[in-house]
Each structure stands twice: as C-alpha cells, then as structure tokens.
Structure 1
Amino acid sequence: MMFNKIIFLFAVSIFTIIKAEEICKNGSDCLNNGVCNVEIKNGIKESYCSCPQNFHGKKCQYRRCTNNPCQNNGICESFGRSIKCHCSKFYMGDFCQYRKATACDFMECGNGKCILLADSLELGMCECNEGFRGIHCSIVEACKLDSCNFRGECISDGASSFACKCDQGFTGDFCETQIDYCKNHTCFPGSKCINELGYKTTFSVNIS
C-alpha cells in the first residue's frame, strides 16, 4: 500500500512538472536567462519570470539600472551610459513624472466618485453614493428602504419627492396606518367582526 502511494505521488509530481512546462512554453518566454515559473491566481495557472540580478521586467527584458530615476513605479532600463524609463499607462515623460489626463479629470461626480471603464483612460462613469443617482450623481434618490414602513412600494417622481403605493390592508401617506375593516361593518346577531391583515371577513362565533 505504501509503495502504491509513493508511485501515485511521484506520478502527480511528474504531471505537475509537465503541466508547468507546457504553460511556460505557451506563456511568457523569459529572456536573459530568466526562469519561467507557474503560480495560481484566482484558480487559474499563470506563468511569470524570475529574473537574474541585473535584469527585470515581465520577461526579464530590461537591464537593471544602478540608480532608478523613474517615478511613479516606472521601470528603468539601462543602456550603459544612458537609461530609459518605461512608464505605466497612467504616466508619461522622460522619468514618468507627468500623469496622463483621463476621462475622470473632466467628469463631475458631486455625490460620488468617477471610475474608469474597461481598463481605459478615455471611458469613465460616476459611481454614486447611497441616496443619489444620475449621470453626475446630482439627483437625490427620494426612496429609502423604509420610506413606506415596509408596507408598500415607494415610487419616485425622478426628483426629490415620492409617493407610496400601499400593500393591501394599509393606508396613509407612508402606509403607516392599518385599515380597520370592522369599523364600519355591522355583524349579524350572535357574531362579531374580526379584522385580519389585508382583507375584511366575518366569523360566526358564539358570544353568549
């Protein structure tokens, strides 16, 4: 039994190594003697490069600078007596010192914040705080969770006011009052009216 377990673990290890090699071959080809490795992110196997000391970058394609003058997480590449900064998508300039303009720089989101869409600098939208809506989060959302006391549907007029459409058995501007169906109901002798939630009914009961 122990021998079979050892064989099984050995087979799993060989399979894992083969799968890792396949991912590295089909994924990133590491340069400058970089070593391809495999890691799991969100349940998906991805390859990455472990670079030698003098190189860095996604594929170890950049020679490392002695001193890195690049700002805002820019990657410095050395060419002997000269260097070049590779900037992230949000920055530009010789040393990545300037931030690029994005759609959010031109959007007013008074009661919210601007978020970029589809990983793009040109597309953005306002994400509104609770209680506000609209393209610029400028419209007060009149309906709250308890606007109608959990006894009806809140209907907004699109501005700052609302009306309640009450569930059966309730009335009032905010559905705050339960309807008493027995108030104006006359029962036959020997019976009494029982007010049940949502409808009117009479029960014949012995009251003697």
Structure 2
Amino acid sequence: MALLSCVLLMLIPEVCCGLILSFDSYPASPILVTAGSTQNVTLQCQVNLPSNAISSVVISDPSGTERTATTTTLPPSPALYEITLNAVQPSDSGNYTCSATASADLMTTDHIDECASSQCQNGGVCRDAVNGFQCTCAPGYDGVVCEVDIDECASCPCQNGGVCRDAVNSFQCTCAPGYDGVVCEVDINECASSPCQNGLCDNLVDGFRCFCRPGFSGFFCGVELNECDSDPCRNGATCQDAANDVICFCVLGFTGKYCETDINECESDLCNNGSTCLDLINGFQCLCLPGFDGHFCERGWYGE
C-alpha cells in the first residue's frame, strides 16, 4: 500500500495601498497539497472604487511576477477583481500583493453628482456621496432635504398670554397689554412714571391705582378737596380752606374750632346786688332786684 505525502501551500495575501478593501485566496491558505501535485488557486481583491473609476488592478506573486486581474462588478458597487492561478506548487508559497490604480478622468467623467440637481432646500448645503447625498440644513430647518421649517413656537415660549409667531430659526412674541420682554416675562410697572400726584401708587396688570392722601381726590389725586364745601363753620362764622383742614373765623360771642360754642358772658359774674345774669349772644343782661338799676344793677334807688 502506497503512502501519500502531503505538504502545505502557503499563499499570504497582503494589501499594498489604501484603495484595497480586502485580499483573499480560495481555497484559503494554508492549502494541503499532495507531494508531486499542483493546486489551482483564485485570488480575489476588492477595491474601494467603482470599476469604471479604476484603470488597473495588479496581483504580484513572491517572485515579483505581475498579473492583471479582471472584474465583472458593475458600478457603483466597490469592484471585486480576481485572478485564477493554475498549477500552483508548494514552491510558489509566499507573499502575494494586490495593488490598484485609480483613473481620475474616469471618476470625473462617470461619477454621478447627486448634488448637481440642488436637492437641498432652504439654503441647506449638499454633500455628495456614493449613490446618494446628505444635506446639512441651515438653522431653523430639518428633514432629509431641509424641507421642514422647525416650529419654534411648539414649546410655547411666550409667557403671560403672549401670542407666538414662528419665524425662520426664531420666533416673536406679541405680548398681552401690561407685559413686555422677549417672551413677555416683564410686568410693565405703570407706577414707574409716578402718576399719583398726592398719593401712593399701586401697580396693577396693565394699569395702576392711586391711594390719595387726606385732602386730595381724583384718579391721579390731583384734586385738592375744599373742606369748606361742607359748611363746617357754625353760627355765621367765615370758613377758610386749609390742607385737609378748615379755619373758622367766629363772629363775636362764639368760640370753638367750628364756632359751635356760645361764649357765656355771665361767667365773669358782672351783675351786682344779687341780680340775675341772662346770657345773650355776644352779651348779657342783668335782671336787677327791686330797688336797683343800671347795666350791672350797680345803682340802688330805694333810699331816695
């Protein structure tokens, strides 16, 4: 019985430049080969370009012999090039390399620029890609081709009843009366101009209220009250208006703030000789006993 001797065929694919995505052998290395026999091996090299943008793909064996690979891949997919080596012997073991040369003219002529038709809307910037494009949208827009105007009012930014109007990459608030600010966040202080002339100002929404000091009235506390209008002075007195007050000038015989008190002239006890004093307005009368007369009953006549 004959014994078969087997050896290993080592094909080591190596990538030599940046255009090559992968480089493989089929069957995969190492390959078991019977002594005295050979092996057919297919080498495949995938290039990161469409086939119509490649001028050549060359596969070199360990001795430096170059062979041109071919492809059946159609654009725009990355091209897969291959070559089949017939009757490879164990002595052909070693490093195999794959290199590709790109054709700038072919790339310029045949590559489709998807941005040429101005796909991006609303000022978006188009970036061409292999069999596609990508839009970088201007601020305020979104969508595949920047067709969507972002609604900045969707978050309801306007406060205190303000109405939001959407704009490109912004918004504008129309504030309710009494409010101000970018988002109507400021309550306008109507008291800032000091509208209350003689009183204290209370700030309200879209308005104010004046609390007048005594002696003043009116919406702005600008009207000075005439306290004499109520005729406070009595008994014929003359009234003079003052700041939140009156001054009464009494006629003779009366006193008090409002001249309400009749002066009692009998308090000074002017009547003599047991006579009775009768108080009068701004005066008095002495009622004399029999035998006396005079204004003060000061004269006696009963002895004459």
Which has more strand, going by share of residues?
A: 2
Q: Which has the larger radius of gyration?
A: 2
Q: Shorter-chain TM-score category?
A: 0.3 to 0.5
TM-score (norm 2): 0.26
TM-score (norm 1): 0.35
